[in-house]
Amino acid sequence: MSTNRFPRALKALATTAVAALALVGCQAGSPGASETTGAAGTGEPLTIGLTYTPNIQFAPFYVAEELGYFDEAGVNVELRHHGESEELFGALKTGDEQLVYAGGDEIVQGVSGGVPVQSVATLYNTYPAVLIVPADSDIQSAADLAGHSVGTPGPYGQTYFALLAMLEGAGLSEADVDVQHIGFTQQAALSSGKVDAVMGFANNDAVQFAAQGMDVRVIEAVDSSAPTLVGPALGAETSVIAERGSDVTAVLGAVKQAIEYIAQNPDETIEISASYIPTMTTQEQKDAALATLEATIPLMEADGDLPLLTNNPDTWAAMTEFMLEAGIITEPVAPEDAFTNELLP
Q: Are residues 163 and 41 in the same domain?
A: no
Q: Are residues 276 and 312 in the same domain?
A: yes
Q: Are residues 288 and 324 in the same domain?
A: yes
In a domain, 1, yes or no: no
Indicate the SS3 state at residue 331: coil
Last residue of a domain, one of 220, 245, 275: 220
Task: Reply yes or no on whether the pLDDT at 30 is more than 70.
Answer: no
* pLDDT, tens only, 188-204: 999 999 999 999 999 99
Q: Are residues 54 and 184 in the same domain?
A: no
Q: What share of the chain is helix, strand, coil (3-state, %, to 5)?
A: 45, 15, 40
Instruction: List the domain range (segments joined by +) for residue 293.
Output: 6-126+229-338
* pLDDT, tens only, 273-288: 999 999 999 999 999 9
What average pLDDT score do residues 144-173 get? Answer: 96
Q: Are residues 203 and 110 in the same domain?
A: no
CA angle in degrees (0–180, nearest 5) for 41-231-148: 150
Query: How many folded domains does the chain comprise?
Result: 2
Task: Reply yes or no on whether the pLDDT at 13 is more than 70.
Answer: no
Range of lowest pLDDT (82-96, 211-225, 307-321): 82-96
pTM of the predicted model as reported, rounded to 2 decimal places: 0.85
CATH of the domain at 140: 3.40.190.10
Q: Are residues 19 and 120 in the same domain?
A: yes
Last residue of a domain, one of 220, 255, 288: 220
Q: Are residues 102 and 243 in the same domain?
A: yes
Q: Which amino acid is at 145?
A: L
DSSP 218-234: EEESS-TTS-S---EEE
Q: What is the model's pLDDT at position 42?
A: 53
Which pLDDT band, with edges at 50, 70 and 90, does 208 fall under?
Answer: very high
Beta-strand (E) ranges in the chain?
35-38, 46-49, 77-81, 99-103, 117-122, 129-134, 149-152, 178-181, 197-201, 216-220, 232-237
Last residue of a domain, one of 220, 250, 266: 220
- By CB atoms closer than 10 A (0-12, 13-18, 19+), residue 185 is middle
Indicate the SS3 state at residue 142: helix
In a domain, 280, yes or no: yes
Q: Are residues 176 and 325 in the same domain?
A: no
